Protein backbone atom coordinates (compact mmCIF):
# COMPACT_ATOMS: atom_id res chain seq x y z
CA UNK A 1 0.00 0.00 0.00
CA UNK A 2 1.55 3.37 -0.97
CA UNK A 3 2.19 5.88 1.81
CA UNK A 4 0.89 8.72 -0.35
CA UNK A 5 -2.07 8.51 -2.67
CA UNK A 6 -2.32 12.14 -3.60
CA UNK A 7 -4.55 12.70 -6.61
CA UNK A 8 -7.14 10.09 -5.65
CA UNK A 9 -10.60 11.34 -4.69
CA UNK A 10 -13.33 9.68 -2.63
CA UNK A 11 -16.91 10.91 -2.13
CA UNK A 12 -19.22 9.64 0.62
CA UNK A 13 -22.93 10.48 0.30
CA UNK A 14 -24.87 10.41 3.58
CA UNK A 15 -28.39 11.24 4.71
CA UNK A 16 -27.74 13.16 7.96
CA UNK A 17 -24.95 14.76 9.94
CA UNK A 18 -23.41 11.95 12.09
CA UNK A 19 -23.81 9.27 9.38
CA UNK A 20 -20.31 10.09 8.09
CA UNK A 21 -18.96 9.22 11.55
CA UNK A 22 -21.01 6.08 12.18
CA UNK A 23 -20.44 4.52 8.74
CA UNK A 24 -16.98 4.16 7.27
CA UNK A 25 -15.28 6.82 9.40
CA UNK A 26 -12.17 4.76 10.18
CA UNK A 27 -11.55 3.94 6.52
CA UNK A 28 -12.17 7.61 5.75
CA UNK A 29 -9.48 8.61 8.25
CA UNK A 30 -7.14 5.99 6.80
CA UNK A 31 -7.53 7.33 3.27
CA UNK A 32 -7.12 10.93 4.42
CA UNK A 33 -3.87 9.94 6.17
CA UNK A 34 -2.66 8.38 2.91
CA UNK A 35 -3.28 11.61 0.98
CA UNK A 36 -6.67 10.86 -0.59
CA UNK A 37 -8.97 13.86 -1.02
CA UNK A 38 -12.18 12.81 0.76
CA UNK A 39 -15.40 14.76 0.38
CA UNK A 40 -18.60 14.14 2.36
CA UNK A 41 -22.00 15.08 0.99
CA UNK A 42 -24.78 15.43 3.58
CA UNK A 43 -28.27 15.36 2.08
CA UNK A 44 -30.20 16.91 4.99
CA UNK A 45 -29.56 19.03 8.04
CA UNK A 46 -30.88 16.47 10.51
CA UNK A 47 -33.53 18.97 11.63
CA UNK A 48 -36.00 16.33 12.78
CA UNK A 49 -33.50 14.21 14.67
CA UNK A 50 -34.16 13.44 18.32
CA UNK A 51 -31.76 14.17 21.16
CA UNK A 52 -30.29 10.70 21.60
CA UNK A 53 -27.73 11.66 24.23
CA UNK A 54 -29.59 12.23 27.55
CA UNK A 55 -26.75 14.48 28.74
CA UNK A 56 -27.67 16.93 25.96
CA UNK A 57 -31.44 16.82 26.49
CA UNK A 58 -31.90 20.35 27.77
CA UNK A 59 -34.98 22.62 27.62
CA UNK A 60 -35.24 24.48 24.31
CA UNK A 61 -32.44 22.60 22.55
CA UNK A 62 -34.72 21.38 19.76
CA UNK A 63 -35.54 24.98 18.85
CA UNK A 64 -31.98 25.40 17.58
CA UNK A 65 -31.22 21.81 16.61
CA UNK A 66 -30.46 22.66 12.97
CA UNK A 67 -27.62 25.02 13.89
CA UNK A 68 -26.34 22.72 16.64
CA UNK A 69 -26.09 19.82 14.23
CA UNK A 70 -24.25 21.99 11.70
CA UNK A 71 -21.72 22.87 14.38
CA UNK A 72 -21.35 19.21 15.32
CA UNK A 73 -20.75 18.37 11.67
CA UNK A 74 -18.04 21.03 11.44
CA UNK A 75 -16.19 19.46 14.39
CA UNK A 76 -16.54 15.95 12.98
CA UNK A 77 -15.26 16.88 9.54
CA UNK A 78 -12.24 18.62 11.13
CA UNK A 79 -11.48 15.46 13.10
CA UNK A 80 -11.78 13.27 10.00
CA UNK A 81 -9.88 15.70 7.77
CA UNK A 82 -12.55 15.82 5.09
CA UNK A 83 -14.28 18.56 3.14
CA UNK A 84 -18.06 18.61 3.11
CA UNK A 85 -21.13 20.01 1.36
CA UNK A 86 -24.79 20.12 2.36
CA UNK A 87 -27.35 19.34 -0.33
CA UNK A 88 -29.78 21.51 1.63
CA UNK A 89 -32.80 19.22 1.88
CA UNK A 90 -34.99 18.96 4.98
CA UNK A 91 -34.87 15.90 7.23
CA UNK A 92 -37.92 13.65 6.77
CA UNK A 93 -37.92 12.43 10.37
CA UNK A 94 -38.64 8.92 11.59
CA UNK A 95 -42.43 8.41 11.40
CA UNK A 96 -43.65 6.57 14.50
CA UNK A 97 -46.41 4.02 13.81
CA UNK A 98 -49.68 4.13 15.72
CA UNK A 99 -51.03 1.26 17.80
CA UNK A 100 -52.16 -0.55 14.66
CA UNK A 101 -48.74 -0.23 13.05
CA UNK A 102 -49.74 2.46 10.55
CA UNK A 103 -47.16 5.16 9.91
CA UNK A 104 -48.25 8.79 9.44
CA UNK A 105 -47.54 10.54 6.13
CA UNK A 106 -44.15 12.17 5.73
CA UNK A 107 -44.03 15.93 6.31
CA UNK A 108 -44.55 18.09 3.26
CA UNK A 109 -41.36 19.32 1.62
CA UNK A 110 -39.08 16.77 3.27
CA UNK A 111 -36.18 15.11 1.46
CA UNK A 112 -37.89 11.76 0.91
CA UNK A 113 -40.74 13.44 -0.98
CA UNK A 114 -38.61 15.53 -3.35
CA UNK A 115 -38.81 14.25 -6.96
CA UNK A 116 -35.74 12.15 -7.72
CA UNK A 117 -34.43 14.24 -10.61
CA UNK A 118 -34.72 17.42 -8.55
CA UNK A 119 -33.11 15.84 -5.50
CA UNK A 120 -30.20 14.46 -7.51
CA UNK A 121 -29.36 17.68 -9.36
CA UNK A 122 -27.14 19.27 -6.67
CA UNK A 123 -25.35 15.95 -6.16
CA UNK A 124 -24.68 15.59 -9.90
CA UNK A 125 -23.22 19.11 -9.84
CA UNK A 126 -20.94 18.14 -6.95
CA UNK A 127 -19.85 14.89 -8.62
CA UNK A 128 -18.97 16.75 -11.80
CA UNK A 129 -17.01 19.42 -9.91
CA UNK A 130 -15.21 17.23 -7.34
CA UNK A 131 -14.63 14.39 -9.83
CA UNK A 132 -14.40 11.45 -7.40
CA UNK A 133 -12.80 8.19 -8.49
CA UNK A 134 -14.87 6.31 -5.88
CA UNK A 135 -18.32 7.00 -4.47
CA UNK A 136 -20.03 5.33 -1.49
CA UNK A 137 -23.64 5.34 -0.32
CA UNK A 138 -26.24 3.04 1.28
CA UNK A 139 -27.79 -0.12 -0.11
CA UNK A 140 -31.32 -0.21 -1.49
CA UNK A 141 -32.72 -0.67 2.02
CA UNK A 142 -30.93 2.44 3.19
CA UNK A 143 -28.82 0.38 5.58
CA UNK A 144 -31.93 0.63 7.75
CA UNK A 145 -35.35 1.76 6.53
CA UNK A 146 -35.22 5.46 7.41
CA UNK A 147 -36.92 7.32 4.54
CA UNK A 148 -33.94 9.67 4.16
CA UNK A 149 -31.50 6.76 3.94
CA UNK A 150 -33.55 5.09 1.24
CA UNK A 151 -33.81 8.40 -0.64
CA UNK A 152 -30.05 8.91 -0.21
CA UNK A 153 -29.49 5.55 -1.92
CA UNK A 154 -31.78 6.46 -4.79
CA UNK A 155 -30.26 9.90 -5.29
CA UNK A 156 -26.69 8.55 -5.13
CA UNK A 157 -27.27 5.78 -7.69
CA UNK A 158 -29.07 8.20 -10.00
CA UNK A 159 -26.27 10.77 -9.73
CA UNK A 160 -23.60 8.10 -10.26
CA UNK A 161 -25.28 7.11 -13.53
CA UNK A 162 -26.25 10.55 -14.84
CA UNK A 163 -23.07 12.46 -13.95
CA UNK A 164 -21.20 10.61 -16.70
CA UNK A 165 -23.76 11.37 -19.42
CA UNK A 166 -22.70 14.51 -21.35
CA UNK A 167 -26.21 14.88 -22.75
CA UNK A 168 -27.82 14.97 -19.30
CA UNK A 169 -28.23 18.43 -17.75
CA UNK A 170 -25.05 19.98 -19.18
CA UNK A 171 -25.77 23.07 -17.08
CA UNK A 172 -24.71 21.01 -14.05
CA UNK A 173 -21.14 20.80 -15.30
CA UNK A 174 -18.89 18.76 -17.54
CA UNK A 175 -19.63 15.03 -17.47
CA UNK A 176 -17.54 12.86 -15.12
CA UNK A 177 -17.39 9.07 -14.90
CA UNK A 178 -16.95 7.84 -11.33
CA UNK A 179 -14.90 4.64 -11.56
CA UNK A 180 -16.48 2.66 -8.69
CA UNK A 181 -19.67 2.70 -6.61
CA UNK A 182 -19.85 1.00 -3.20
CA UNK A 183 -22.53 0.39 -0.58
CA UNK A 184 -21.69 0.51 3.12
CA UNK A 185 -22.22 -2.71 5.09
CA UNK A 186 -21.67 -1.45 8.60
CA UNK A 187 -23.29 -4.31 10.51
CA UNK A 188 -23.62 -7.97 9.61
CA UNK A 189 -24.63 -11.10 11.47
CA UNK A 190 -21.08 -12.39 11.18
CA UNK A 191 -19.61 -9.20 12.67
CA UNK A 192 -22.15 -8.91 15.48
CA UNK A 193 -21.68 -12.58 16.37
CA UNK A 194 -17.89 -12.27 16.44
CA UNK A 195 -18.02 -9.24 18.75
CA UNK A 196 -20.68 -10.86 20.93
CA UNK A 197 -18.68 -14.04 21.40
CA UNK A 198 -15.50 -12.08 22.12
CA UNK A 199 -17.27 -10.15 24.86
CA UNK A 200 -18.52 -13.36 26.46
CA UNK A 201 -15.06 -14.94 26.22
CA UNK A 202 -13.69 -12.00 28.20
CA UNK A 203 -16.52 -12.36 30.73
CA UNK A 204 -18.04 -9.05 29.69
CA UNK A 205 -21.70 -8.29 29.13
CA UNK A 206 -22.54 -8.23 25.44
CA UNK A 207 -24.88 -5.50 24.16
CA UNK A 208 -25.91 -7.80 21.31
CA UNK A 209 -27.57 -10.67 23.21
CA UNK A 210 -31.17 -9.68 22.51
CA UNK A 211 -30.40 -8.39 19.03
CA UNK A 212 -28.95 -11.72 17.97
CA UNK A 213 -31.96 -13.58 19.32
CA UNK A 214 -34.24 -11.48 17.11
CA UNK A 215 -31.98 -11.42 14.05
CA UNK A 216 -33.58 -12.86 10.92
CA UNK A 217 -30.63 -14.14 8.94
CA UNK A 218 -30.45 -13.69 5.18
CA UNK A 219 -27.48 -15.73 3.93
CA UNK A 220 -27.59 -14.26 0.42
CA UNK A 221 -27.54 -10.74 1.87
CA UNK A 222 -24.54 -11.56 4.07
CA UNK A 223 -22.56 -12.68 1.00
CA UNK A 224 -22.80 -9.24 -0.58
CA UNK A 225 -19.70 -7.81 1.11
CA UNK A 226 -16.86 -7.73 -1.43
CA UNK A 227 -14.39 -5.34 0.15
CA UNK A 228 -12.93 -5.25 3.66
CA UNK A 229 -10.74 -2.21 4.32
CA UNK A 230 -8.22 -2.71 7.18
CA UNK A 231 -8.45 0.41 9.33
CA UNK A 232 -8.26 -0.67 12.99
CA UNK A 233 -5.58 1.89 13.83
CA UNK A 234 -8.08 4.63 12.95
CA UNK A 235 -10.90 3.41 15.23
CA UNK A 236 -9.86 6.11 17.71
CA UNK A 237 -10.36 8.83 15.08
CA UNK A 238 -13.75 7.31 14.27
CA UNK A 239 -14.73 7.44 17.94
CA UNK A 240 -13.69 11.07 18.27
CA UNK A 241 -15.72 11.98 15.18
CA UNK A 242 -18.72 10.17 16.64
CA UNK A 243 -18.40 12.05 19.93
CA UNK A 244 -18.41 15.34 18.03
CA UNK A 245 -22.10 14.66 17.35
CA UNK A 246 -22.95 15.22 21.00
CA UNK A 247 -26.73 15.41 20.57
CA UNK A 248 -26.77 12.02 18.85
CA UNK A 249 -24.03 9.99 20.54
CA UNK A 250 -24.02 9.12 24.23
CA UNK A 251 -20.40 8.55 25.35
CA UNK A 252 -21.72 5.96 27.81
CA UNK A 253 -24.06 4.36 25.30
CA UNK A 254 -24.26 1.67 22.64
CA UNK A 255 -21.45 2.86 20.40
CA UNK A 256 -18.79 2.42 23.08
CA UNK A 257 -19.88 -0.75 24.88
CA UNK A 258 -17.35 -2.92 23.04
CA UNK A 259 -13.78 -2.04 24.14
CA UNK A 260 -11.88 -0.54 21.24
CA UNK A 261 -8.98 -2.97 21.66
CA UNK A 262 -11.40 -5.87 21.30
CA UNK A 263 -12.95 -4.38 18.17
CA UNK A 264 -9.50 -3.92 16.65
CA UNK A 265 -8.61 -7.54 17.30
CA UNK A 266 -11.91 -9.18 16.36
CA UNK A 267 -13.07 -7.06 13.41
CA UNK A 268 -10.30 -4.74 12.17
CA UNK A 269 -12.02 -3.75 8.93
CA UNK A 270 -14.87 -1.65 7.59
CA UNK A 271 -16.89 -3.49 4.99
CA UNK A 272 -18.34 -2.51 1.64
CA UNK A 273 -20.09 -3.96 -1.40
CA UNK A 274 -18.72 -3.14 -4.84
CA UNK A 275 -21.83 -2.45 -6.90
CA UNK A 276 -20.51 -0.98 -10.13
CA UNK A 277 -16.95 -0.75 -11.44
CA UNK A 278 -15.56 0.70 -14.65
CA UNK A 279 -12.06 -0.59 -13.84
CA UNK A 280 -10.74 -4.11 -13.33
CA UNK A 281 -10.12 -5.39 -9.81
CA UNK A 282 -10.08 -8.84 -8.27
CA UNK A 283 -12.64 -9.76 -5.61
CA UNK A 284 -12.47 -9.88 -2.69
CA UNK A 285 -10.76 -6.53 -2.22
CA UNK A 286 -9.07 -4.78 0.69
CA UNK A 287 -9.05 -1.32 -0.90
CA UNK A 288 -11.78 0.92 -2.34
CA UNK A 289 -9.26 2.12 -4.92
CA UNK A 290 -8.26 -1.33 -6.16
CA UNK A 291 -7.74 -1.04 -9.91
CA UNK A 292 -7.57 2.77 -9.82
CA UNK A 293 -4.60 5.08 -10.14
CA UNK A 294 -4.66 8.85 -9.81
CA UNK A 295 -4.39 9.04 -13.60
CA UNK A 296 -7.68 7.21 -14.24
CA UNK A 297 -9.98 9.69 -15.90
CA UNK A 298 -8.00 12.58 -14.41
Residue 286 lies in a domain: no
H helix count then E strand count, the chain: 10, 7
The pLDDT, as a whole number, for residue 245 is 97
**Binding-site annotation: residue ranges:** 16, 19, 149
pLDDT band for position 298 (cuts 50, 70, 90): low
Beta strands in 160-263 (DSSP E): 180-184, 227-230
pLDDT of 133 higher than 70: yes
Mean pLDDT, residues 115-143 taken together? 97
pTM score over 0.85: yes
Is 265 in a helix, a strand, or coil?
Answer: helix
Do 103 and 213 belong together in one domain?
A: no
Do 104 and 202 belong together in one domain?
A: no
Minimum mean pLDDT range among 17-21, 26-30, 58-62, 157-161: 58-62
Ramachandran class of 213: left when φ > 0, alpha when ψ lies in -120 to 50, beta otherwise: alpha
Residue 293 lies in a domain: no
Residue 114 lies in a domain: yes
Do 99 and 202 belong together in one domain?
A: no
Residue 157: other Cβ atoms inside 10 A: 21
- What does DSSP assign to residue 295? T
Mean pLDDT score of the chain = 94
Do 257 and 149 belong together in one domain?
A: yes
**Binding-site annotation: residue ranges for Zn(2+):** 16, 19, 149
pLDDT band for position 59 (cuts 50, 70, 90): confident
Do 47 and 95 belong together in one domain?
A: yes
Residue 167 lies in a domain: yes
Residue 108 lies in a domain: yes
Do 88 and 219 belong together in one domain?
A: no
What is the percent of the chain with per-residue pLDDT over 90, rounded to a whole number?
83
Q: Cα separation of 199 and 214, whole Å?
A: 19
Q: What are 198-253's pLDDT values in tens digits?
A: 999 999 999 999 999 999 899 888 899 999 999 999 999 999 999 999 999 999 98
User: From the CA atom positions of the chain, what is the Rg in Å?
Assistant: 19
Do 115 and 218 belong together in one domain?
A: no
Q: Structural domain of residue 15, as residue ranges?
A: 9-187+225-277
pLDDT of 294 higher than 70: no
* Number of domains the chain is built from: 2
Do 42 and 97 belong together in one domain?
A: yes
pLDDT band for position 99 (cuts 50, 70, 90): confident
Do 254 and 172 belong together in one domain?
A: yes
Amino acid sequence: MPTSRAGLRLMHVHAHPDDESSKGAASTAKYVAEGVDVHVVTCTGGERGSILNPKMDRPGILENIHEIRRQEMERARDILGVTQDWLGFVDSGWPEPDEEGNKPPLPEGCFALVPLEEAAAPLIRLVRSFKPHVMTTYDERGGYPHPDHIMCHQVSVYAFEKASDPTYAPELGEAWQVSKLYYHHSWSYEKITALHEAMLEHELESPYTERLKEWKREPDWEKRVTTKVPCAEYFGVRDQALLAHATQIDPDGFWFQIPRELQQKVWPTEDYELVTSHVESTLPEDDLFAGITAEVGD
